[in-house]
Amino acid sequence: MSRVYNFSAGPAVLPEDVLKEAAAEMLDYRGTGMSVMEMSHRSKAYDAIIKDAESDLRDLLHIPDNYKVLFLQGGASQQFAMVPMNLMKNKVADYIVTGQWAKKAYQEGGIYGRANAIASSADKTFSYIPDCSDLDVSEDADYVYICENNTIYGTKFWTLPNTKGKILVADQSSCFLSEPVDVTKYGLIFAGAQKNVGPAGTVIVIVREDLVSEDVLEGTPTMLRYKTHVDAESLYNTPPTYGIYMCGKVFKWLKAKGGLEAMKEYNEKKAEILYDFLDQSRMFKGTVEKKDRSLMNVPFVTGNDELDALFVKESKAAGFENLKGHRTVGGMRASIYNAMPMEGVEKLVAFMADFEEKHSDML
């Protein structure tokens, strides 16, 4: 069977070149006589893999020396607790709630101190990003938290919030490495790998070194302290070795493609093809305010549940996988991450146009 066009929100499409390279190395990684899956994380061969991955990531994002890079486990959801455990010194934090994952982080933050929702777009089903230019930031807040790209609802912060001098913490899971980022604007960035970077099981944390200390909330487990992992260079315990190896291959693929500037341009072209179609379609409609549209996740609907279900069924039969919207919102969603080829988006739009013509009687 030939490969499908996989529009899954995560675990998501990976670059075919990377998968082929990993397949070729599966049984024997560079003359070691073993797979990376079988390799000791303390070995010389693996040490080179993890150090190389960090170096390439630093190159891609121009990460300054005073920021630490960590490869951890537990996914982005574990960071909802790890962030307040390590950073909530005053036991106060402000959250901007723009979707389900930001809401979950906000609720988790409330376990450890006073979590304030200082802005929200819940009033319009998270279909926009609220104005964050002059927020009522709490004087004693330890940080301001955002989910920068909302996977479920398809919104993106194109302007970072004015945090009034407070540390900005960002969950970048579904936009990580899709465009250049000024890391110095953040105190901490984290991202689950399974959307744009690698297989599920790895989370990447980029944290400013002055935020890494022994001064954490009482009862914080050793494994949930950033300092534990910084001191051990992500090797305190057995890390997700194969996941990190795959992330490293994706970093090299991105560098070969011209880096994040080239990736942003490519992603803008892909998104434009799909949004342009949605804006002129009589059947399909985007669900996000235009100024806040994500380049990575594109939700859309017909307005007819029966028609939505038929589209999902027929698109799957035509080789387009995982276009069903998140179970909490319904409709459809196309996740068009870095590794989704332009051809995939062009073919999807052609299919949508045919579907619209074929089922125009249902409008």
pLDDT at 346: 98
Task: Dump pLDDT digits (tens) for 192-247.
Answer: 999 999 999 999 999 999 999 999 999 999 999 999 999 999 999 999 999 999 99
Q: Angle between the 259-280 and 44-61 helix axes, to the nearest 10 degrees? A: 60
Q: For residues 56 and 249, what is the distance between their CA atoms, to the nearest angstrom?
A: 9
Beta bridge partners of 94: 116, 144
The percent helix, strand, coil of the chain (3-state, each to 5) is 40, 15, 40
Task: Dump pLDDT digits (tens) for 41-52.
Answer: 999 999 999 999
Compute the C-alpha angle 238/239/245, nearest 5°.
Answer: 130
Determine contact, residues 29/39, Cβ cutoff 8 Å. Answer: yes
Rounded to an integer, the average pLDDT of 327-340 is 93
Beta bridge partners of 189: 170, 206
- How far is residue 93 from each of residues 40, 87, 227, 328, measured CA to CA in Å? 40, 9, 21, 27
Determine contact, residues 292/98, Cβ cutoff 8 Å. Answer: no
Q: Is 220 annotated as a binding residue?
A: no
pLDDT at 240: 98
- CATH number for the domain formed by residue range(s) 14-254: 3.40.640.10
pLDDT at 226: 98
Q: Is 202 annotated as a binding residue?
A: no
**Per-residue pLDDT at 1 exceeds 70:** no
pLDDT at 360: 87
Report which of 310, 288, 311 is spatially closest to residue 298, judged by C-alpha positions.
288
Domain map of the chain by residue range? Answer: 14-254, 258-360
**Per-residue pLDDT at 328 exceeds 90:** no
pLDDT at 153: 97
pTM: 0.97
**Per-residue pLDDT at 304 exceeds 90:** yes
Rounded to an integer, the average pLDDT of 296-300 is 98
Count Cα neighbours of 106 within 13 Å in the Cβ-side half-sphere.
Answer: 19
Q: How far is CA 286 from the centre of its chain?
A: 21
**Could you give the residue numbers annotated as active site?**
101, 171, 195
Task: Dump pLDDT digits (tens) for 259-295.
Answer: 999 999 999 999 999 999 999 999 999 999 999 999 9
Mean pLDDT estimate for the chain: 97
Q: Is 238 annotated as a binding residue?
A: yes
**Per-residue pLDDT at 341 exceeds 90:** yes
Kindly state which CATH superfamily the domain 258-360 is placed in. Aspartate Aminotransferase, domain 1 (3.90.1150.10)
Q: Is 293 annotated as a binding residue?
A: no
Q: Is 76 annotated as a binding residue?
A: yes
pLDDT at 363: 73
pLDDT at 53: 98
Q: Which residues contact 289 (CB under 8 A, 6 or more apart)?
A: 127, 128, 155
Handedness of CA 322, 328, 331, 336 (dihedral sign): negative
Report which of 58, 45, 37, 4 is spatially closest to residue 254, judged by C-alpha positions.
58
